[in-house]
Amino acid sequence: MAGIYLHIPFCKQACHYCDFHFSTSLKNKQAFLDALKLEIALQKNYLKGQEIKSVYLGGGTPSLLSQRELLDVFQELNENYSISADAEITLEANPDDLTHEKLRQLKETPVNRLSIGLQSFAEKDLRYMNRAHTAEMGSAAVKDAQDAGFNNISVDLIYGTPTLSKDVWLNNLDKVFALQVKHISCYALTVEPKTALDRFIRSGKSENPDERQTAYQFETLIAEMKKNDFIQYEISNFCKEGFLSKHNSNYWLKEHYLGLGPSAHSYNGYSRQWNVRNNNRYIRALEKRTLDFEKEILKPDQHYNEYILTSLRTIWGTDLDCIRKMGEDYYTTCVKEVQRYIMSGDVIQKNSLLNLTDKGKLLADKIASDLFVV
């Protein structure tokens, strides 16, 4: 189930927590789009003719693109790739971009799924994150998108911010359930180096996230999702039956994908590569019809470690039979190291499958790292 990711590196303003690659200046937008279309054509053989089941426009803020700009990009994609008739085609959008006219225009493009960055319904929280929209705009954007005919909508929420109390977090969840969306992604606030949030914390202008508060809110999240019949198919991703994200699943199930645009990553089963994280360098290279990227051929230990890291986070779990095929040493290491987590109730084993318990999900990264080979 191959996929394509397009990174649109522009935003109206910088969220304080964000460390994704973007620019708040749109002066090079047309030059970027011209370069992106060239890259689409130059990379047409990367996936070796596999049918594309998922196209995802992320960023940045893809909803800043006009209808005409989107249609031009999709035309180039269709000319160079075999995109399935039932492909999931997702566009990330900020609520403040989703006017009635914008939604009408989006319905006339191939986009059939929206991922809307709500993050919170609390004004204090939105100001802390430096979001461009208000809580009211967030709810209205989802309802207007539904009225416009978008039935497959995902929304993002962030927990763990110092401004987010227990009651406000429950209120956020109640409000998102009331919107009747089919997919919800929830992320713990992470303080990434060199972000505005990192600078604020270092200078004493902001508090560090409280680990106990974050853990409590994650446990609350899992409980409330279960009550409302959402499936937790990956630690941060929840969906109604039949609305699992193909794009997200590609990453966790190690399917092949092509990343287009500055900073975008690609994976073809034996190597990873990532484009330069600089708009001007990206554009200049493609003006010469060349690609500016780094590449890494994955070694057996990396294949094993990545499989542990990705599979353990999912509802499908880690398959010991799959590990055994990678090598008896990997199987022996995994079986030995996982025993303490089975004994502690953080991991359960059923036949050849290892799955995290709800308690174990709080320790997912530590458990995975303890199963790694180094």
- Considering the domain 2-252, what is its CATH architecture? Alpha-Beta Barrel (3.20)
Question: Does residue 160 surpass a pLDDT of 90?
Answer: yes
- Spans of all domains in the chain: 2-252, 300-371
Question: Does residue 176 surpass a pLDDT of 90?
Answer: yes
pLDDT band at 22 (very low <50, low <70, confident <90, very high): confident
Write the pLDDT tens digit of every residue in 32-45. Answer: 999 999 999 999 99
Give me the residue label for tokens 């809110």. Answer: 217
Write the pLDDT tens digit of every residue in 260-271. Answer: 999 999 999 999
Class of domain 300-371: mainly alpha
**Residues 299-317, mean pLDDT to the nearest whole number:** 97
Q: pLDDT value at position 19?
A: 87
Write the pLDDT tens digit of every residue in 60-99. Answer: 999 999 999 999 999 999 999 999 999 999 999 999 999 9
Question: Does residue 315 surpass a pLDDT of 90?
Answer: yes
What would the DSSP string read from start to end of 236-285?
TEEE-TT---HHHHHHHTT--EEEESTT-EEE-SSEEEEE-S-HHHHHHH
Give me the residue label for tokens 């036949």. Answer: 351
Write the pLDDT tens digit of every residue in 240-249. Answer: 999 999 999 9
Alpha-carbon gap, residue 195 to 22, rounded angstroms: 12
Residues 6+ apart with CB under 8 A from 363: 341, 346
Alpha-carbon gap, residue 373 to 299, rounded angstroms: 12
